[in-house]
Structure 1
């Protein structure tokens, strides 16, 4: 069956959609189903009684002044007496509608698939010739208004200008704009009267079939290609026939190259909601959107066009705005651990590799499952914490001591780490040999444990972020850019768990960075990290090391000239958002240097002096 409800209920075609929508909408049916969905499919989805119920509600709310035969003309044949009456009690009207729809559905030819979109038989005369009859008696002015205003479609012909305005047409024909408006109204009435006459029967049958073919959403160019005669030029208007047909498909709006029944935003949101629980295989996704009235042959194109959805690796997934959410979506589709490089490639947008690595290391949704691979924490699995921590874990599992060979075998079989690296760590600080040659965790004498002279909160250029991490600010200079190592404050190194004689290896996208402590803590070259940011002298990099051994970095370009003093001070602690007052700025600085909430101005200044942050104090007279 190729008829929609609006094809058998004429008032649906002229009642404002804003009146119909709140009453006729049904959660079990797509938007504007009364126009876009064949009647038999609507009844199959929610039941004939529910369809009749929506129609009865519309009758009571919008058309109570009409006789029933004008609302549902089929009643004139099935219930002649009732068709001459205005609507009575709602239940009586509902029962009448159920009876008519049941009889209509029962007339569907046996063997014809329900909802099959088979074009109606062509009339004896070509359809464009029938349409031309509408405009045959119009004068040149009426035809120009029809061609350049009523039936103009700039989206399909971007090189042909814009739809003519009332003023342009008024000037062209030396009349008032109100006269043009009146002619336009008369043209619409003329076309409407013709459509209600017997000559329009072939075109009305075609429109009924066309709604079935189009469904809830279809690429706009599908209309022109639906049947060959759509591209035939109407002689009277010198436009292709589809442009006229398009205006008769009420209830559709054209958005971003799509013809969409009902509201585009609503249909897009309903589509997105289908994937709220996670990625779906493309084949399954196509079947899901088909339930919204979208043809399966255009479903994949529709999915690709919906904002915040992406078709990826044979799946459809919600594609949110933040980098972390996108990384989560990529991993959910892959359903396997990936390297930061893989994630960056699959996101395919302008996110730096350093930024992605920082996000993966600091976001609780992700878990490091290998030296260079991350997964989703909800998958479970053992977290990779770095070679030193993994050796400690193996020793604990073995009961407090283990042979180096066993540790090597266990770790190399599970992780992408080399035997030489494991042996180097096992022979370094933090481990000691037992009498039988095994290794165990060295337990230092607590009295001899290293205590820094200043803890990290009292250490110059160290700042705490909102997540509780302490970061050290590196002011980029020529030595950093050349690849030289640089000293780290002892308070910050101790915060990272280091002590004199110790060594910490942190991983980055471009290799490992070694932090060692001999005479003083020193970090190796960070030139590759700076190159990722295209850093220059005077820029700043804030760095720390995650629990998993990742070197986390945040880049901040040098402050621009003319920045207000308080903003310049905030820039040096890594804060770049505007503030309402100096008091707010001082509160932020206090929080970043470890002071309790509510610390006053003098407390902040005193702490900065004790720490040695003279560069910040310069901007806080």
Structure 2
């Protein structure tokens, strides 16, 4: 059974691997199977859950609509060694007649789906897949389907589901979850079928009452929400420890410490730290790949719509998929998206680019010197601060009472403390306590620059240099310098290794000052719109590479360079 589980449909049909997941999901997604099942579920289990006819027909639809230019022997390499009776006795009559007219089985293997357009291409291609897949024994979905598709759901159903499992027959002992009755139903909307059939084996039906509450949110993400399926498919490919740190730290509302998680899992803390670093690097690599295009495109559009400040409610309501739970992560999609927005963080109920206190301070200045009309003021907020029209009213209503000269959240005579950055592994919501302003203002264009750098987008300079609605005409400059505020600047002694792109170590207290902790990373936008990543590896935080920054400054070995991170931007100065 383990050998069967390791062979997925994508192993038999390689085109599934390099096709865009959202295009594949439009045809192959089904509530009986988890998101991305063609790359994660054993083919025997998939055949047992969905049936050979359904899978063959859906694959044929993909071939005709997406892969019509590929020979059938490339789409299904098993055809090169598979032999059949030339008379094709088991084939349905329309397909058999068409194949005979084309020259038989040997010629059919060399044709493309486009070559079959004169006949019934889907019927012929479906028969080809049926011929090969029929050689694979189907496995009943009782044990396998529950483990693959139901484990994430059952983690949320509470004691009611556990009580129902205790009453199940001994034949189901191998599966600790209860998705089978629902998987027999082809429609995801009949949640009532999840409850009643699973309780038929025993009298204790009362404890199942709490179970239906979370079920509607988790039953249909793969079929109806491609973004959820795409993200879920990514993290299902992670190893067990990588999944654990993603669930408990990277995308959790309240991340646990590495020490606590290591104790809970019974593993060495060092292994967990390596797993987290691997998971973070895989996420960054995925964001740079074409496979993540639907997610990065969604983030671009979402950034534009949210503007420089928006509420959590607006974020959740921005797309129907946002409140849907990503099964493997056990967290809603919107929380995952926030973790991927390296330029934003929650502060006092607002998802803000940069610092909430600084944005409010600039808002008060506009109110004091701006127009009296509320509509004109809202337009001014959009033009100067990047606050969108649909958020302007709530933003104006949320402005606190006028503060004293010392500024909000600042004690007299005390320099402003930089706020923690939002990073994977350190992404809790900062909703309580006073906000502390930083000297610089908000530059909404840097949000697009950071995401472009992470996703490997090309040709974005015209977007960053030119004007666009909602962006300030000139980004506010940094007001501090190494001489005036040495606490915020870190001195780096440039070496030849640094100029070759080697990591650059920084003190722990400097990384902690930026809101980091061991095992986290911070991505910022440096000069020239270069993405610069600060990683706290093991016990030493380092910049992965400052080569683009140093080359831009024409630094040489022995020079002293000062760097500072201001919100989501990195600035560097070369001492004379």
TM-score normalised by L of structure 2: 0.32
* Higher RCO (CA-CA < 8 Å; seq separation 6+): 2
Task: Look at both structures and tell me which one has the larger radius of gyration over its CA atoms.
Answer: 1
Higher strand share: 1
